[in-house]
Each structure stands twice: as C-alpha cells, then as structure tokens.
C-alpha cells in the first residue's frame, strides 16, 4: 500500500494528545481532539501517544511516558499538551474499584490529571495544558468529554 504523506518538510505540530491505549476510547478521543463544531478541541495536527492510564504513566514518571511529552515539545514544538483519562480504565483497576460511584471515580481521575499537569509544568512551565476526562454517560451508551 502507498499513501500520500501530508507533511513533507514539516516538523512542527500544534499539540500532543496523550490518551490511554484502551480500544474502547482512543478512536473517539481522536475525534474529540479534531472536532471543533461539536465542542471538541479543533486540533488539526498533533502527536497522539497512548499509554496505559494516560496520566498514570506520567505520574509514575517513567522515561517512556515523559518521552511522549518531551519529543512533541522539544522536537515538534508542540504548544499545547492534552491529557485524556477515561472512565473504567483498566490501568487503574476499572470502575469496580469505585463501587459504581461515578462521581468518586471522576474526582479520582481529576486528581490524577492535576498531578500529571504539575509534573509536566515543572519541565514545561509555559505550555498550555488541557486536562480531559472521558466519562461514560447515558447508562454507558455515550462518552462525554469533560474539560477540567
């Protein structure tokens, strides 16, 4: 297969969007990042790394996770850093860990995202950070992306 390369001679992108590897969420996260009219982020070019638990990987300060941010920032001049955590994330033990308390689960993920933000800002204090929680709503029929 051969396909068009859209970025010949281009080495910069707007942002990095870090999400979880979970097959149930990444496609919709990509859609959220690109979409503008339906309340998405409206980004047109960005690095899109995924690691189990997204913020979790940053909070563990693994070299791999930090590289998912430093490569976009240092090599691709990304100005925005987006981190998306999601409901029922297996890397955190899933929703069961919260006994079905969706509010407690959301609060927990908000804490994780804030922690990751502070770790990243230590190294990149002038980047714009966007924290997002992908929540399961409507009895698990839909994903709502909540920007903190």
Residues that bind Zn ion (CB under 5 A): 20, 22, 89, 91
CB of 133 to Zn ion, least distance (A): 12
Q: Which is nearer to Zn ion, 24 or 79 (CB)?
A: 24
Residue 20 token pair? 């979880």
Nearest to 133 by CA among 52, 22, 54, 24: 54
CB of 89 to Zn ion, least distance (A): 3
Q: Which is nearer to Zn ion, 43 or 84 (CB)?
A: 84
Q: Which is nearer to Zn ion, 73 or 89 (CB)?
A: 89
Write out the E strands in the chain.
Answer: 15-18, 46-47, 80-86, 128-137, 142-147
CB of 54 to Zn ion, least distance (A): 7
């Amino acid at each position: 297969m051969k396909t068009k390369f859209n970025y010949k001679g281009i080495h910069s992108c707007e942002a990095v969007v870090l999400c979880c590897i979970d097959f149930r969420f990444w496609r919709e996260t990509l859609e959220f990042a690109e979409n503008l009219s339906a309340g998405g982020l409206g980004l047109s070019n960005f690095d899109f790394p995924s690691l189990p638990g997204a913020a979790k990987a940053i909070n563990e300060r693994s070299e791999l996770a930090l590289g998912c941010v430093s490569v976009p920032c240092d090599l691709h001049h990304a100005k925005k850093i987006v981190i998306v955590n999601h409901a029922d994330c297996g890397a955190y033990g899933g929703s069961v860990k919260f006994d079905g308390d969706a509010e407690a689960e959301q609060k927990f993920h908000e804490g994780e995202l804030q922690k990751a933000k502070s770790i990243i800002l230590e190294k990149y204090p002038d980047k714009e950070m966007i924290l997002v929680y992908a929540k399961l709503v409507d009895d698990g029929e839909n994903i709502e992306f909540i920007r903190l």
